[in-house]
Amino acid sequence: MKADCVVLGAGIVGVSVAIHLLKRGRSVVLLDRGEAGKETSYGNAGLIQREGVAPHLFPQSLVTVLNYGRNQSVDMRFRWRDLPKLSPFLARYWWASRSGSYQKIVEDYSKFIAHSVSEHAPLIEEAGAGDLIGKAGWMEVFRTEKGFRAALEEAEGHGRYGLEHQALDQQTLRSQEPHVTAPLVGAVHWTQPWTVRDPLALTQAYLRLFIQLGGRFVHGDALSLREAAPGWSVDTVEGPLQARDAVVALGPWSGGLLSKLGRHLPLGVKRGYHMHYRPRGNATISMPMFDEAGFLMVPMRQGIRLTTGAEFAALDAPPNPVQVDAAEPYAREGYPIAERLDAKPWMGARPCTPDMKPIIGPEGRKGLWLATGHAHHGLTLGPATGRLLGEMMTGETPFVDPTPYSVARFR
């Protein structure tokens, strides 16, 4: 097989890159070891986070760090035995989260994430996936006045990035969400984001669009990628594939492939878990709700999905879904859920960089390109990443400045 480009990884980022390259006249093969969208792209909260200008930073308060160090919080856990291996990444993550550095990251990030909804919109229409999309936004809900006031102050400050929100007091929140009985004092309702009722179905709808446009999806071993003049070669179930360009969009597995090719990047992993529950009776929640206690409740096709925060552990470490168990009592107390619907909690891994920005652009060797490191915003930034990389690879003027996402920042 031959193609102009092979895209390695059929998650939401890889599929989006493949579509944009195809639309620009390239012959494209999309390769994955399994079913499209079944890894990291499957288990997210379904948020296209237009409001997400401020990526998750490493806490700077000593009190907060010490509290997390007890390793008992709902929203963050770590695996003790993996800390020596993770410490170099965590140190760089902490350093990038300092006030001055972080503000520059937010300024860069805000210009890219501003296109999150607008870049999804045409693909959703072309893919006929409108039934998967909600346009009412999502909420952060609070159990303490202190947390509510701090969130409102932050939301108001984000207005300079064109973000819109509504503040809901306790009475208004109870009226809007009558089946939620948690002891909440108020909420910040972000009105611009879109939500996805089934992230796997959206990725697979984009895959069908890619194939309809003339693309090809094959199974193969992305880790077999190797230089083979005049480009790159990779093993598929149908035999070797030769391509002039190769795009690494393997999410948390990108670092392993790049290390084999001699490029060592500071890519870390944040693991996360989810569990689906049957709604209790005819009760429901109207939109995703992030509870101050450290978890998300999301209405999905499969039921109400509880998603956890971050677990810092090695990519191949065995699952440890204690965050689901820790969050579930809060969820049962305050949200209309009945029995678990999954045999066990699902686990996925998010690819992270220490400066919280994705890596998008040329790797340095001719024909090798990167689209990875999106952390919590793979679903949010998939189509925007696809457009940016497609424009860079075909010599168009990029619609946003790609410099903040260049791999060169880690040299």
pLDDT in tens, 76-92: 999 999 999 999 999 99
∠ CA 95-98-104, nearest 5°, is: 105
∠ CA 123-124-129, nearest 5°, is: 140
- d(Cα 49, Cα 63) in Å, to the nearest integer? 29
CA distances from 194 to 62, 190, 399 (A): 35, 10, 22
pLDDT of residue 28: 98
pLDDT of residue 411: 80
Return the HEC string of the chain: CEEEEEEECCCHHHHHHHHHHHHCCCCEEEEECCCCCCCHHHCCCCEECCCCCCCCCCCCCHHHHHHHHCCCCCCEEECHHHHHHHHHHHHHHHHHCCHHHHHHHHHHHHHHHCCHHHHHHHHHHHHCCHHHEECCCEEEEECCHHHHHHHHHHHHHHHHHCCCEEEEEHHHHHHHCCCCCCCCCEEEEECCCEEECCHHHHHHHHHHHHHHCCCEEEEEEEEEEEEECCEEEEEECCEEEEEEEEEECCHHHHHHHHHHCCCCCCCEEEEEEEEEEEECCCCCCCCCEEECCCEEEEEECCEEEEECCEEECCCCCCCCCHHHHHHHHHHHHHCCEEEECCCCCEEEEEEECCCCCCEEEECCCCCEEEEECCHHHHHHHHHHHHHHHHHHHCCCCCCCCCHHHCHHHHC
Q: Are 248 and 365 spatial neighbours (Cβ–Cβ below 8 Å)?
A: no
- Write the single-letter amino acid at 233: S
Q: Are 16 and 386 spatial neighbours (Cβ–Cβ below 8 Å)?
A: yes
pLDDT in tens, 301-312: 999 999 999 999
Q: Given CA atoms 335, 336, 342, 348 in this order, what sign does their dihedral have?
A: negative
pLDDT of residue 158: 96
- d(Cα 306, Cα 328) in Å, to the nearest integer? 8
The CB-based long-range contact list for 296-301 (8 Å cut-off, 24+ gap) reads 296/45, 297/331, 297/335, 297/337, 298/45, 298/46, 298/195, 299/197, 300/46, 300/197, 300/198, 300/276, 301/197, 301/198, 301/201
pLDDT in tens, 235-286: 999 999 999 999 999 999 999 999 999 999 999 999 999 999 999 999 999 9
Please list the ranges in the chain whose pLDDT falls under 50: none
**CATH number belonging to domain 1-57+97-130+196-266+355-411:** 3.50.50.60
Tokens of 102: 């972080």
